[in-house]
Amino acid sequence: MHTFNRSASLNRRALTIGSPRVGRPTVVSRHYHVPIVIGFLFTFLLAISASYIFVVPSLKHTFNGDTSSQSNVSMSLCDVSDGGWIQDDSYPLYNASECPFAEQGFNCLGNGRTDDQYLKWRWKPKNCDVPKFDVHAVLEWLRNRRLVFVGDSMSRSQWESLICLLMTGVEDKKTVYELNGSKITKRIRFLGVRFSSFNFTVEFFRSVFLVQHGWMPRYAPRRVRSTLKLDKLDDISSHWVDTDVLIFNTGQWWVPGKLFETGCYFQVGSSLKLGMSIPGAFRVALDTWASWVERTIDRKRTSVFFRTFEPSHWSTSDQRSRSCNVTQYPILEASRRDQHVFADIAEEVVKNMSFPITLLRITSLSAFRIDAHVGNWSDNPSLPDCSHWCLPGLPDMWNEILLYYILTNHESPL
C-alpha cells in the first residue's frame, strides 16, 4: 500500500509544481517557464524512479509467488494438484502379473476385471506437464540411495507400484529381491527391496498412525483397551533416519471404526483425552511428527515428502450398510470428496515447519477415480473394497508426481 500511495503523492506534487495559474502572460511568468518545466521533468523522473523501486518488486511477487513464505509447499514448481484426467493409451506402464511385488489382492485384471479403461488415464496439471516416466533416468538417480515409505496400506500399495515401475528397466529381474525374503502381508511392519545392480533400496515401514499405539494405561475406564500416544512417535521411527528420500502418509485409520469402536482412545503424556475429537488428535499427532522431523532428519541429505489423504468412495461412512460401486470411467465432478479435513490439517502443519517438506497433494486428483478402486476384483471378492486401488492404476500416478518433484528439485547426474 505504501508503494502506491507514495507514487500517487509524487504524481500529485508534480502536477502542483508544473501547473502555474492561468492568467494574462507577464514578463515575470515568461521567465519562470523554464525552471517550472525543469522542475516538472525532475519530479516526473523522480516519480518514475520511485515506482520502479517500490512497485516493480511487488509486482514480481504477485506473478512469481513469494517463495520465501511458500518453500514448504513446493510452490517453486507448478501446482500439480490443479488439473484433470486425460485419456492416454500408453498406459499402463507395467503388468502386475509379471511383477512379483504387486499384491494379488490389488491385481484387478488378474482377479477377473474385464474392462481396462481405468488403466488409460493420465493426470494433466493445468499449468505444466508431469513428464512421462523415464525408468532409466530414475534408476540412475536412485543409484547408491535409500528411499523409504512410512504409513498405512495405501503407502504399501504406492511402494509396490514404484517397485513394479522400476523393474521394467531392470534386465535381470533376479537382481531385485526382498532383503529378508519376506512375503508381502497386511500386518508386516517392514519390507525392503534391493536393486542390487544399482545398489539402492526401496523400503516400507508400516506405521498406520505415525504415533505410538500402546496398551491400556492403569486406572483407565473399562471402555479403554488401548491408546494412541499422540506426543510420541512410533517406536520404529529410529529406522526412518539416514535416508535420501522419505515419504510419509496417514489417514485411513483415523476413523471411529478403527479407534473408538475398538476401544482405542487418545493419550498425551500420562493423561487420557477421552473427549478429544479425531481431527484434533490428528493435528496433535502431525505436530509430533513435524517436531521429530525438525529434530532428527538431516536436511542436507534427506528429502521429505508428506502425501495427503487419499479419498475412498463408499456409498456411506456406516461400515454396516455401505456399498462399493466401481464405475467404468472417472467421475466428472468430485463434489465434496476433493476436500478433506486431514488434507487441510497436513497443509497447515507443513506450512508452519522450518524444515523443507514437499506436500504431495493427491486428495483432489484421486477423488475423481471411483473407477480405479479394487471393488470386487481382489483376492477375496466376497469383501468389496472402495478404499484400496488397483495395480497398475492410480498409485502409479502418485509415483510419477513424486518422481517429478524428486528429479526437478535435485541436480540429476544425467
Residues annotated as catalytic are 153, 385, 388
User: How many other C-beta atoms lie within 10 A of the C-beta of residue 342?
Assistant: 22
Phi-psi region at 366: left, alpha or beta (left = phi > 0; alpha = psi -120 to 50): alpha
Distance of alpha carbon 317 from alpha carbon 397, whole angstroms: 26
CB 377 within 8 A of CB 390: yes
Distance of alpha carbon 269 from alpha carbon 146, whole angstroms: 33
Distance of alpha carbon 91 from alpha carbon 288, whole angstroms: 39
Distance of alpha carbon 368 from alpha carbon 67, whole angstroms: 30
CA atoms within 13 A on the CB side of 98: 10
CB 316 within 8 A of CB 376: no
Residue 221: alpha-carbon gap to chain centroid = 38
Task: List the one residue out of 256, 284, 280 whose CA is nearest residue 268.
Answer: 284
CA 154-157-160 angle, to 5 degrees, is 155
